Amino acid sequence: MKPFSGFDMIKVMRLTSKGRLHDAMAVLGGTSGGHGHPAETAGKGAAAPRARAAPSAFPAGLTERWRRMADAGAVRRTGAEPAAKNAVPVPDGAQFLTRLFANTAGTRDYKLYVPSRLAERELALIVMLHGCTQSPDDFAAGTRMNELAEETGFLVVYPAQSKAANSSKCWNWFSAADQERERGEPSLIAGITREIVAEFGVDPKRVYVAGLSAGGAQAAIMGATYPDLFAAVGVHSGLACGAARDVASAFKAMSKGGAPSGSRGAGVPTIAFHGDGDATVNKVNGDHVIAQAKAGDDFTAERDKGQSPGGVAYTRTRYRDERGRALHEHWLLHGAGHAWAGGSSAGTYTDPRGPDASREMLRFFLDQEGPSS
């Protein structure tokens, strides 16, 4: 196979301009083999659990930088074997249901966790969007969000990206057609959310969305396109809405940062986590996520430093409005890579050393007042 310098980039750009994103990805990444990345540790310092290297879909000569970028949001494997191969533990009385949603944009499977005891009042729902190559079971195991749901009594839903929509199961955050309200993937995720809200009587002011990597970028899109549906957004190792509009700009955004596209999403409370050792999605994208969320408003920045029990140092910046409310938070994890902080090694792409991103996101979400009516 030819090295990267021999690729027909003109063909890639032509395919991208016609909206044929998957064909463009095939030209960049080849058409055979798997879609994973070699394993590596999640950051400096104490080593995260290692895993077996995944097969590569990329030809010899393609640099590691372009390997990372060609999946347009793929995350690193730092856990053990994918949790999808093993059933996620479900306590007595709880349910982890597999369902299907369909609308004019297509169909998507999703899994819904119903804890053994639901909150009697102000029932909350968290929508969790997995990263590339992951599944709902894998993401649930890695983030341990179901365990928190069991503690607090809220619902968790995990929409599943299909291989038909993206061969690496990435949410298509870089596609212009999938960044608009009531179109494409945003309409599917919003439809799943509305379906559960109606069925279970969820408090409309307690609906939240979070995701990792490509899922984090998709969560930012959901906050930008549905500020009336989601009370707050959590973005882990992701990018701002509009950071890219096609495959080529996705490469640039992941490597060098993608500036927000306008002020869509401004005003939706947002919490972002990003490792400053992230070699897959540049850490500046975490800054852009928060910048987009607070665009046009004045905030007082309040910074504090700390260290997780596992030894990961961090800088947390809270942005308070004139009433003193912390409406946005940015966690910069020093030395950490591209993985869910504080996750379990039962899932993939996690850094168990912490801090506990799931618990911190839940705390932040429940502190918000919800979308304005």
Locate 238 and state its tokens. 């992701």
Which tens digits make up the pLDDT trace of 36-53? 322 222 333 333 333 322
Residue spans per domain, the chain: 4-70, 93-367
- Report which of residues 263 and 193 the model is more confident about: 193
> What's the number of CA atoms in the CB half-sphere (13 Å) around residue 83?
25
Which tens digits make up the pLDDT trace of 299-348?
A: 999 999 999 999 999 999 999 999 999 999 999 999 999 999 999 999 99
pLDDT tens column, 121-133: 999 999 999 999 9
Q: Which of 54-68, 118-132, 163-177, 196-210 has the lowest mean pLDDT?
A: 54-68
pLDDT of residue 302: 97
- Select the highest-mean-pLDDT range: 7-11, 77-81, 102-106: 102-106
Q: For residue 331, what are its two tokens?
A: 């966690």
Q: Per CATH, which fold does 93-367 belong to? A: Rossmann fold (3.40.50)
Is the pTM higher than 0.85? The answer reads no
